[in-house]
Amino acid sequence: MGPPPVVSIRSNVAPRSPFAFVGRAGRAARALTTAFSALALAVGVLTLAPAPARAADPITTQEYFSYYHFDAARAKGYTGKGVTIALIDSPVDINAPELAGADITDKSRCTIEGSPEGVRHGTDMATILVSSYTGVAPDATLLSYQVTNSSSRSSGNCDLGGEKQNSWDKLINQAVEDGAQIISVSQGVSDQSDELKWAIANAVSHGVIIVASAGNKSTDENSAHLSQWSGVVGTSAINTDGTFASYSSWGNGVVTAAVGGPFNSLDANTGEPAQTEGTSNSTALVAGMIALARQKWPDATPNQILQLLVHTSLNPNHEWTPYTGYGAIDGGALVNTDPSQYPDENPLLQKPGGSSPTVQELQDYADGTITPNTVMNTMPKSYVYRGTNEDLIIGFGLDNGLNIHLGTSPRYHRK
């Protein structure tokens, strides 16, 4: 399947509210997008021409900020206050001037020696999320988790007893345990292990929304990104003129799309001003806008927030496509549309073409009826077996660190 034709979703109609997005009114036009978060170090950013600015000064302007009217959002108090976002990426330079005053805590399970390009990428994602200048959710709490990729390496404490401490499943489980409400991942993730499957199930069962990039190779990259998994908000890219981003990848896991660039950054090696684009940027924008929705609607369930996202995205009739999912995100609608009208059901559990974990596996996980002996070393430490298999106490039990509460599954009490 090739990329779709370039179609504009930008509107010339005046915004309908103080926090309306410039590209919003294209409900009659199809937002066609894709995702591009790989590159040589699989982080989803393209470097473009140098941009005018002085490297010693904070970067205070971004085109997406005006495109999405985030100044109006801040004026109305939508800043992500009270929301916790986890960023799983390369190391973040918390001393970057763009991040001055931001609430960022490094919660990494081990120390990564990131390349200059990797650190720049992690810092840029944090900037999109919580910068006081151009962050979508500047008052949100950001938890940073370092991941190893092709351009970074462990300083020696990421492998303990032959077990990798910063694998994707462990990082996601740690973010859930640390209280993250949203996890932003702008990295390629080709892992299809049982460990990762149950980490996704853990996040879904705890109502943690994972937002992930779809890739930057102008092709179907579904199998190489977290967007392939059930419940994950796969994100592709559009340009600031509302057209499909030619670099963006796509696939059955795509749920929505957002602007991928240009993003004002710095050259990782020279420190000179530069611009980037990619679905990494789109992903951080979507994660930030979901944070605003969670702030505005604290009584809504995470499932209702996802329903809100699906029902307000900008494809005509919210029709799904593998390029933009249900359409480009409409952040204005996210904070102006009451999600209580939607069912408390996760709309992303059965993605087109099928996805894992299955609906039954997710229900079994939530009910605690998956027997740990069949998935040893794959379940999060917080998982509690609540089934009726008494043999587990003898064969595995507490000696293996398993939590077993026989016969306590809510499944046995449902009508």
Residue 30 confidence (pLDDT): 34
Which residue shows structure tokens 């996202």? 309
Contact 236, 248 (CB under 8 A): yes
Which residue bears the tokens 């005018």? 52
> What letter would DSSP give residue 65?
H
- Provide the pLDDT for residue 11: 30
Q: Determine the pLDDT at residue 42.
A: 38
Which residues on neighbouring strands pair with residue 156, listed in sequence order? Answer: none
Q: What is the pLDDT of residue 156?
A: 64
**CB neighbour class for 40 (10 Å; exposed up to 12, middle 13-18, buried from 19):** exposed
Tokens of 320: 């799904």
- List, as one string, the DSSP characters of 120-167: HHHHHHHHHHH-TTT-SSTTSEEEEEE---TT-EE-S-SEETTEETT-
Q: What is 26-341's CATH number? A: 3.40.50.200
> Would you state the pLDDT for residue 81?
98
C-beta separation of 374 from 197 below 8 A: no
- Share of the chain residues as helix, strand and coil, in percent rounded to the nearest 5: 30, 15, 55
Q: 219 to each of 43, 162, 214, 227, how far by Cα in Å?
A: 16, 36, 10, 14
Q: Give the bridge partners for 259, in sequence order.
A: 238
Task: Measure the CA–CA gap between 74 and 59, rounded to whole angstroms.
Answer: 18
Burial class (CB in 10 A: 0-12, 13-18, 19+), 57: exposed
pTM listed for this prediction: 0.88
Structure confidence by residue, pLDDT tens digits, 16-39 = 333 554 343 333 233 333 332 333
Give the start-to-end residue ranges of the domains of the chain: 26-341, 368-413
Q: Say if CB 18 and CB 95 are below 8 A apart.
A: no
What pLDDT sits at residue 110? 85
- Res 163: pLDDT: 73
- Residue 41 has a pLDDT of 33
Residue numbers of the chain with a pLDDT score lower than 50: 5-18, 21-44, 47, 49-55
Please tell me the predicted confidence (pLDDT) of residue 224: 94
Q: Are 227 and 199 in contact (CB under 8 A)?
A: no
Residue 216 backbone dihedrals phi, psi, to 5 degrees: -130, 35
Q: Cα 242 from chain centroid?
A: 21
Can you tell me whether residue 228 is helix, strand or coil?
helix
Q: What are phi and psi of 393, to 5 degrees?
A: -65, -40
d(CA 295, CA 214): 26
pLDDT of residue 295: 98
Q: How far apart are CA 71 and CA 183, in angstroms?
A: 24
What backbone torsions phi and psi does residue 146 show, to the nearest 5 degrees? -85, 135
Alpha carbon 409 to its chain's center: 30
80 has which bridge partners? none
Query: pLDDT value at position 45?
Result: 54
CA–CA–CA angle 267, 234, 221 (5° rounding): 75
Contact 365, 350 (CB under 8 A): no
Q: For 112, what's the count of Cα atoms within 13 Å in the CB-facing half-sphere?
A: 30
Closest CA to 175 of 208, 136, 201: 208
Write the pLDDT tens digit of every residue in 285-316. Answer: 999 999 999 999 999 999 999 999 999 999 99
